[in-house]
Amino acid sequence: MGKWLKKNWLNLFLGLAVLAGLCLLLYPTFSDWWNSLHQSQAIAAYVDTVEGLSQEEKDAMLQAAREYNQRLWEKGNRWILSEEEQQEYNSLLDVTGTGIMGYVNIPSIDVSLPIYHGSEEAVLQIASGHISGTSLPVGGEGVHTAISGHRGLPSARLFTDLDRLAEGDIFTLTVLGQVLTYQIDQIRIVEPADLSQMELYPGEDYCTLQTCTPYGVNSHRLLLRGRRIEDVPEALVAAAEAVQISTYLVIPAVGIPLLFLLLTVVLIYYRRRGPRLTAEDLKHPFEKRSPRNHKKK
């Protein structure tokens, strides 16, 4: 074995290097698929739980959230929550006990993510988070909801493609079975501490999507504000659906060529190794092999 390793260490090293490189290439795709699968399962579990609620239970939860939103107008500094206020916030709209209050869907970039309470790092690594201090996502007059998400993570796509959206694009929030549709009417880039673009406006129903920018630098925040619309133009829906590419179609399209490349490398490697060891060679491993040892009998 030691003699074989000494003779073939370079080929073995190159094979391992190729395998390691392919693993690195496949990791983002596989990891994003894995996270997408878990996100879909979390959304499905949320939907199932909501469907099991009575209409009275849903109405009571929605009413509590609307009352919370109304109190934000009266709060001096709504960005700072006391311990008691934090507990109340965490309990509202949490029908599954996991912190999910609904989910956001952005058809034009094929994104569907659970929305969790808060925008802590643990949340943003796996999904989107509701920014506490903004209105809960239940719609109504004088509300402004803000949803935050990471971009550029090697393990998940999340809000990576948010900069591809433009004014006029639509996205939806689904909470307790009701679907709220928003159309982007304003795009801004601000400093991380600038909260002026998340103000409450009388009579308006806004939702802002937030992520870091520029890509890979993350020194600022990209804000895409949507205004609630009741009647969604069919042309917008059709345009959004037309550009969707399912993750489950993208992964095979990327993974299959890479697997084919891996198999090709393996076949070339073993073909260049020369004749295989015979039973006679194994009996006398230290004898020098000659062509006559490998004659067919």
d(CA 205, CA 74): 18
pLDDT given at position 248:
41
Determine the Cα angle at 159 with ends 158 and 164, to 5°.
135
| Percentage, residues of the chain above pLDDT 70 | 64
Q: Which two tokens mark 103?
A: 């989910």
Q: Indicate the range of 34-38, 130-134, 142-146, 192-196 predicted with least confidence.
A: 34-38
Q: Which two tokens mark 101?
A: 């209050």
Task: Compute the residue count for the chain.
Answer: 297
Give Cα separations from 132 to 110, 135, 146 (angstroms). Answer: 26, 8, 8
More confident residue, 39 or 217: 217
16-37 residue pLDDT tens? 665 555 555 544 554 555 566 7
Mean pLDDT for 137-149 is 97
CATH 2.40.260.10 in the chain, residues?
Answer: 54-244
pLDDT given at position 8:
61
For residue 157, name the pLDDT band (cuts at 50, 70, 90): confident
pLDDT given at position 156:
75
Residue type present at position 216: G
The SS3 of residue 17 is helix
pLDDT given at position 128:
95
| Contact between residue 128 and residue 53 where contact means Cβ atoms under 8 Å apart | no
DSSP type of residue 198: G
241-263 residue pLDDT tens? 443 334 444 444 445 555 556 65
| Contact between residue 136 and residue 191 where contact means Cβ atoms under 8 Å apart | no
| Contact between residue 247 and residue 110 where contact means Cβ atoms under 8 Å apart | yes
The alpha-carbon radius of gyration of the chain (Å, integer) is: 28
Highest mean pLDDT among 4-8, 41-45, 166-170: 166-170
189-243 residue pLDDT tens? 999 999 999 999 999 999 999 999 998 889 999 999 999 998 776 655 444 444 3
**Token pair 């092999």 is at which residue?**
289
| Percentage, residues of the chain above pLDDT 90 | 57
Mean pLDDT for 44-62 is 96
Q: Above 60 in pLDDT, residue 165? A: yes
For residue 289, name the pLDDT band (cuts at 50, 70, 90): low
Residue type present at position 43: I
Q: Above 90 in pLDDT, residue 116? A: yes
Sign of CA dihedral 51, 52, 58, 61: negative
Q: Indicate the range of 37-41, 55-59, 211-215 predicted with least confidence.
A: 37-41
For residue 40, name the pLDDT band (cuts at 50, 70, 90): confident
For domain 54-244, the CATH architecture is Beta Barrel (2.40)
Q: Which two tokens mark 30?
A: 């596989």
Among the listed residues 103, 235, 224, 234, the one whose alpha carbon sits nearest the alpha carbon of residue 164: 224
Q: Which two tokens mark 251?
A: 């992964």
Backbone dihedral region of 5: left (phi > 0), alpha (psi from -120 to 50 degrees) or beta? alpha
pLDDT given at position 209:
98
pLDDT given at position 7:
63
**Token pair 């042309």 is at which residue?**
235
d(CA 278, CA 206): 75
What is the overall mean pLDDT for the chain? 80
Among the listed residues 78, 116, 80, the one whose alpha carbon sits nearest the alpha carbon of residue 200: 78
Give Cα separations from 41 to 44, 66, 172, 241, 251 (angstroms). Answer: 5, 28, 19, 22, 18
